[in-house]
């Protein structure tokens, strides 16, 4: 473990997180619009923190299929530029298609590149962002250093990571219902980092400080995740989004699956709002400036 409690990069150069994203890319791409809708409040939070201005240049890393790259592109306008990157080829390819479909090819440039290989010249950007990617990087401090190096003095950077497990029932309640009905557990993916890697307050901020960021601020923000479902259909909705929930559901008899769905529905009643489950959620918004800003 390193100072952040993370497993160090493997000496054989393998990256279990990346392998896992390569495997789940197809599902993520298929569910892209739905995921954007579920997590819309998180995107708004990040964009407000970065406050992109018309004509500015932004770097977004681990962009998946376009959050927050598309929102950045809206804000920087036709004279601005967004460079969106992802380490998974299928993800970058899908993003390129989405960019073309939205007629934004002159504004959003997509690079298939891992964060640990980024090497933009200094001062290439006015700002940099990463939404829900940093927990999967083999060396988050190195990634933060690379972001800071590519942002001009006085520019801004913002990262979003999930807060503590207990504040994010979206990730745990389906698994809890499956545990309750005795669904066989899935082991952890060996060597990979979970979504709560930076859940505890201060963890991600200390990585950013170690990477030389200045004026680091870490806010634990409460928001809602909006899943379009009725309580009774929530387990199936979660299984469509998450491979791990689906894998556990697939091993069950119809009766046991229905029992798990019932338990989850009961729990979710309290969050039901007009055709959606509005899950309470907590995220860390970590902002800062590159070190050049203080020299």
189 binds ligand SAM (CB under 6 A): no
Residues 136-175 that bind ligand SAM (CB under 6 A): 136-137
Least distance from ligand SAM to the Cβ atom of residue 257, Å: 26
C-alpha span between 291 and 29 (Å, rounded): 36
Among 70, 81, 86, 141, binds ligand SAM (CB under 6 A): 86
Annotate 89-147 with DSSP letters as a single string. HHHHHHHHHHHHHTT-TTTEEEEE--GGG--PPTT-EEEEEEES-GGG-S-HHHHHHHH
21 binds ligand SAM (CB under 6 A): yes
- β-strands 214-228, 276-289 pairing: antiparallel
Mask: binding to ligand SAM, 106-135, rule CB under 6 A, as x and -? --------xxx--------------xxx--
Cβ nearer to ligand SAM, comparing 39 with 203: 39
Query: Whose CB is nearest to ligand SAM?
Result: 64
Least distance from ligand SAM to the Cβ atom of residue 84, Å: 9
φ, ψ of residue 227 to 5 degrees: the values are -100, 120
C-alpha span between 232 and 261 (Å, rounded): 7
Cβ nearer to ligand SAM, comparing 115 with 237: 115
| Tokens (6 digits) for 290 | 């590159």
88 binds ligand SAM (CB under 6 A): yes
Residues 49-68 that bind ligand SAM (CB under 6 A): 61-64, 67
Q: Quick count: other Cβ atoms within 10 Å of Cβ 14?
A: 11
Cβ nearer to ligand SAM, comparing 64 with 163: 64
Cβ nearer to ligand SAM, comparing 183 with 286: 286
Cβ nearer to ligand SAM, comparing 99 with 252: 99
Least distance from ligand SAM to the Cβ atom of residue 15, Å: 6
Distance of CA 22 to the CA centre of its chain: 15
CB 77 within 8 A of CB 149: no
H/E element, 172 = helix 169-180
18 binds ligand SAM (CB under 6 A): yes
Least distance from ligand SAM to the Cβ atom of residue 74, Å: 16
- Nearest CA to 197 out of 223, 176, 171, 224 is that of 171
Distance of CA 9 to the CA centre of its chain: 20
Among 38, 47, 87, 148, binds ligand SAM (CB under 6 A): 87
Cβ nearer to ligand SAM, comparing 87 with 128: 87
C-alpha span between 12 and 26 (Å, rounded): 26
197 binds ligand SAM (CB under 6 A): no
Contacts with ligand SAM, residue ranges (CB under 6 A): 17-18, 21, 35, 61-64, 67, 86-88, 91, 114-116, 131-133, 136-137
């Amino acid at each position: 473990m390193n100072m952040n409690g993370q497993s160090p990069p493997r000496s054989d150069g393998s990256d279990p997180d990346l392998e896992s994203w390569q495997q789940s890319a197809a599902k993520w791409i298929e569910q892209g619009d739905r995921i954007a809708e579920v997590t819309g409040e998180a995107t708004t939070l990040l964009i407000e923190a970065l406050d992109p201005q018309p004509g500015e240049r932004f770097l977004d890393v681990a962009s998946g299929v376009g959050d927050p790259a598309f929102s950045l592109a809206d804000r920087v306008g036709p004279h601005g530029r967004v460079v969106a990157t992802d380490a998974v080829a299928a993800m970058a390819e899908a993003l390129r298609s989405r960019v073309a479909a939205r007629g934004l090819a002159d504004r959003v440039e997509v690079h298939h590149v891992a964060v640990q290989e980024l090497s933009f010249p200094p001062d290439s950007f006015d700002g940099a962002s990463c939404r829900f990617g940093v927990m999967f990087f083999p060396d988050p401090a190195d990634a933060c250093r690379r972001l800071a190096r590519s942002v001009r003095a006085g520019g801004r950077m913002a990262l979003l990571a999930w807060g503590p497990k207990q504040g994010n029932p979206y990730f745990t309640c389906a698994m809890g219902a499956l545990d309750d009905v005795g669904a066989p557990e899935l082991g952890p993916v060996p060597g990979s980092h979970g979504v709560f890697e930076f859940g505890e307050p201060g963890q991600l901020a200390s990585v950013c400080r170690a990477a030389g960021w200045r004026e680091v601020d870490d806010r634990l923000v409460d928001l809602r995740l909006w899943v379009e479902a009725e309580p009774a259909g929530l387990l199936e909705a979660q299984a469509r989004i998450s491979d791990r929930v689906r894998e556990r559901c697939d091993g069950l008899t119809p009766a046991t699956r229905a029992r798990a769905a019932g338990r989850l529905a009961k729990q979710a009643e309290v969050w039901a709002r007009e055709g959606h489950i509005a899950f309470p959620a907590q995220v860390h918004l970590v902002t800062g400036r590159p070190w050049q800003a203080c020299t």
